[in-house]
A = this chain, B = another copy of it.
Amino acid sequence: MTILTTQHSPNWRSPITASDRVLFEIQQAIVEGRIVAGSKISEPELARRFDVSRAPLREALARLERCHLIERTPNAGARVVTLSAAGLLSLYQLREELEGLACRLAAEQMADAEIVELSQLLEQHLSTQRVREGESYYQEAGDLDFHYRVILGSKNPYLINILCDELYFLVRMYRVQLGMNGPRVSRAFDEHKVILQAIANRDGELADLLMRRHIAASRRNIEKQLNQKDFQHDYS
């Protein structure tokens, strides 16, 4: 079995081909809301907008469907996904289970050197967090980076593929578009430290439990934001 990391490996930049470049740009645009959630996608328009033919654009759309950022229906076109409370619940139900598993496997499978690196990563997050107090985006990126490494540590290629390629951007989309900027950043950091400790102790069961709680807390936090947003929406 080959390595099978992160959709043929150019997951975080490396525009090998034109299709890759367009994919990255559209991914970012959807996550950040520049392409509005729920809007219809016109192939000719996007092709002109990103200055490519429809062939690589369609390739990119296929991959966007794969990570659940768009939904296609045959002979009818594609739409950007719409965010909803039900969708968020389904997504986090899955994340709880999958990242719990990943964390358990990581506690069993990660090399000692990887654990050391992960520890250093947390120390680094601590310093940058102290500097940019309350700044959410970088902390979020750091949070996802921590999760990223744990997932990779599971050494399960299918699990890695699902979490890092197919669900990753959707999670980011919910976070960004719901404006994650609450005071949860420091608490999340502490939870990361405890999880790392469990992994270092090779206690897979505990690591599993802690990661599930961590994600459940994150879910409740986002749901709170979502409810506020609905509240705003009702009176706007």
Copies of this chain, how many?
2
Contacts of A73 in B (CB 8 A): 8
Q: Which residue of B lies closest to A4 (CB)?
A: B71
Chain B residues near A10 (CB-CB < 8 A): 74
For A84, what are the chain B residues with a Cβ–Cβ distance below 8 Å?
A: 1
User: Is chain A's binding surface mostly helix, strand, loop or mixed?
Assistant: helix
One of A61-69, A130-138, A175-183 at the interface: A61-69
Which residue of chain B is the closest to A90 with respect to CB atoms? B156
A17 surroundings in chain B (CB, below 8 A): 74-75
A16 near B156: Cβ-Cβ < 8 Å: no
User: Does A210 sit at the interface, judged by CB under 8 A?
Assistant: no
Q: Which of B8, B94, B157 contacts A90 (CB 8 A)?
A: B157
A156/B94 in contact, CB under 8 A: yes
Identity of the chain B residue whose Cβ is nearest the Cβ of A71 in the assembled complex: B2
When the two chains form their complex, are residues B158 and A91 in contact, meaning their CB atoms are under 8 A apart? yes
Q: How many residues of A contact B (CB 8 A)?
A: 41
B68 touches A66 (CB 8 A): no
Interface residue? A150 (CB, 8 A): no
* Given A62-B59, A66-B66, A68-B158; A16-B74 close (CB under 8 Å): yes
On A, residues with C-beta under 8 Å from B are 1-2, 4, 8, 10, 16-17, 20, 55, 58-59, 62-63, 66, 68, 71-75, 81-82, 84, 86-87, 90-91, 93-94, 97-98, 101, 105, 156-159, 161-162, 166-167
New A-B pairs, 9, CB < 8 Å, besides A93-B101, A94-B162, A162-B162:
A1-B81, A1-B82, A2-B71, A8-B73, A20-B74, A55-B55, A62-B63, A90-B158, A93-B105
